[in-house]
Amino acid sequence: MKPLLDMNHVSIDYKTDKKEFNIVKDLNIKIEEKMKYGIVGESGSGKSLTSLAIMNLLPDVLDISKGSIDFNTEESRDLSKLNKKQMRKVRGNEISMIFQEPMTALDPLYTIEHQLLEVLRIHKNYSKKEMHKMGVDMLNKVGISRPEQIMKDYPHQLSGGMRQRVMIAMALICEPKLLIADEPTTALDVTIQAQILDLMNDLSEKNNTAILMITHDLGVILETCERVAVMYAGQIVEESTVEKIFEQPAHPYTKGLLSSIKSLGERSKELYSIPGNVPTPDNYQELGCRFATRCPYAMDKCFEQEPPMYEVEEDQFSKCWLHDEEVQVDE
């Protein structure tokens, strides 16, 4: 059986008349039907670009220079090769996306009903009465009280949590095979965050929808996902099940992320942080490991040659020279 989504050696480049450089390099992601898959990393690591590449929404200056994005349902299609008309049939219908900020994703000039039902008008053939009922039912499913009234409201009349629920309703109303959630709980308070995550898990189970969760929050990954890819500077540096990543992280970057969380509960100790910042794409190292300048275990080889992806345990992969049998490092 082919995976539902198969990103195979995908690279994304920035290209203009004056500049050209790589942003995302050699991504390999496989998402099975009904799977909950997470991508985690600091801001600027390429997480959102990955989602935009899947949706074929990359800006004109960005180009998928290598690889394929195969979407396998009744037929197999390379999403990166579809034209605009073909892609419009996929977006919102077979693949939906919850964007990072619902206030900017929703149009302030249109009612919730107009925006919620737009995807049905484009992809389905229902009467106005049927669509209205489906919209009300969907708002009920996402936990919005007074759905008939909310349908008549405008985005600015709703709270942040309600707008996020509307975004989820819009994404799921056509029962897509894959839901991409890009930082779905950003700017929400903790209690609303938990409700939104529970809601997404519940609707995923009921609709048999696979989820690609994109976030910088490891707590969100732990609560919602089965597998996770850790991204740094446009590359996946570690990939495995959520249990293995949290119990026995293999890559120094993953260890750093987890250490910064664990230190929160240790009041007597100084909070841990990974030194330095994620480099901008035009400052990525041409040779070696992109994390080398921030890594406590960096050695000469890390600056000279890019490490391969090692299988360090069964079904756990890490892109680091520390896993080379010929390299001896005291950790």
Between the alpha carbon of residue 211 and those of residues 130, 182, 275, 330, the distances in Å are 27, 10, 32, 39
Kindly list the domain boundaries of the chain, sorted by start residue.
5-232, 249-323
DSSP state of 293: G
Q: Topology of 5-232 in CATH?
A: Rossmann fold (3.40.50)
For residues 290 and 273, is the Cβ–Cβ distance under 8 A?
no
Tens-level pLDDT at each residue, the chain (331 residues): 799 999 999 999 998 888 889 999 999 999 999 999 999 999 889 999 999 999 999 999 999 999 999 999 988 999 999 999 999 999 999 999 988 776 678 999 999 999 999 999 999 999 999 999 999 999 998 888 899 999 999 999 998 888 988 988 998 899 899 999 998 877 667 777 788 788 888 878 888 899 999 998 888 899 889 999 999 999 999 999 999 999 999 999 999 999 887 655 566 567 788 998 889 888 898 889 999 999 999 999 999 999 999 999 999 999 999 999 876 555 4
- H or E segment at 14? strand 5-15
Report CA 272 to chain centroid distance, whole Å: 25
Report CA 262 to chain centroid distance, whole Å: 23
For residues 236 and 27, is the Cβ–Cβ distance under 8 A?
yes
For residues 251 and 290, is the Cβ–Cβ distance under 8 A?
no
